[in-house]
A and B are shown apart, each in its own frame.
Chain A
Amino acid sequence: DVKVTQSSRYLVKRTGEKVFLECVQDMDHENMFWYRQDPGLGLRLIYFSYDVKMKEKGDIPEGYSVSREKKERFSLILESASTNQTSMYLCASSLPTGHGYTFGSGTRLTVV
């Protein structure tokens, strides 16, 4: 069964900490995405990548960075966590076919 695996289901971090969210896919997909999902705001795109070592800003990149050193792994970094970054973080991957994404199960991050 093809999968997108996010390293943690639940995380609690302190304000100011550097936070790493890891995502690995086993489908040899070129495209990878990071979204956050908040009640009333839907899914908002943070960063995406179409290839190794390549990254593009999404709609809300402030306070985040990403790393894609290998095709299968796309990491989201919160440089200095803040309480307004408390959210559900969803990683997704896709082929360049327009056939939609495969999502991970999500990481629910709480920043205290």
Chain B
Amino acid sequence: QKEVEQDPGPLSVPEGAIVSLNCTYSNSAFQYFMWYRQYSRKGPELLMYTYSSGNKEDGRFTAQVDKSSKYISLFIRDSQPSDSATYLCAMSATNAGKSTFGDGTTLTVKP
């Protein structure tokens, strides 16, 4: 059983839709949670990071962490074709520690 499970997708939505991307985890020591976006044939780029439970908003993106349920989500509002990419969740137990990644969800936003 993997420590981090991510909804596999693929996900296809029309432009302007609200997108929900989700991960669950089993290691209760995880405290730091990250979301990355990866375009085809590129390295992942950091979108958002959060510490412990709660919400964090950055423009059209909102990250949610529910540590009691061991569940994290990334919401994308008013999705755009340029949001089409693979999204990776990642988490770590310490601020200096190695991250464990989900397998990624591929999102396509159709014009």
| Chain A residues near B (Cβ < 8 Å) | 4, 30-31, 33, 35, 40-43, 45, 48, 50, 58, 90, 92, 96-106, 108
Contacts and interface: CB of A to CB of B under 8 A. Distances in A.
Contact of A98 (B42, B43, B51, B102): B51
A48 B98 contact: yes
B66 interface: no
Contacts of B100: 45
Contacts, number: 59
A92 B45 CA distance: 10
A41 B99 CA distance: 15
B32 interface: yes
A90 B51 contact: no
Interface of B: 31-32, 34, 36, 41-46, 49, 51, 88, 90, 92, 94-96, 98-104
Closest 3 CB pairs of A and B: A96-B96, A98-B95, A103-B43
Given A42-B103, A100-B34, A105 B42 contact: yes
A99 B95 CA distance: 7
B99 A101 contact: yes
Contact of B101 (A42, A50, A104, A108): A42
Nearest to B8: A40
A104 B32 CA distance: 21
A100 B37 CA distance: 12
26 contacts: A30-B96, A42-B102, A43-B44, A43-B88, A45-B98, A48-B98, A58-B98, A90-B44, A96-B95, A98-B31, A98-B32, A98-B49, A98-B51, A98-B96, A99-B49, A100-B46, A100-B49, A100-B99, A101-B44, A101-B99, A103-B36, A103-B43, A103-B44, A103-B45, A104-B43, A105-B43
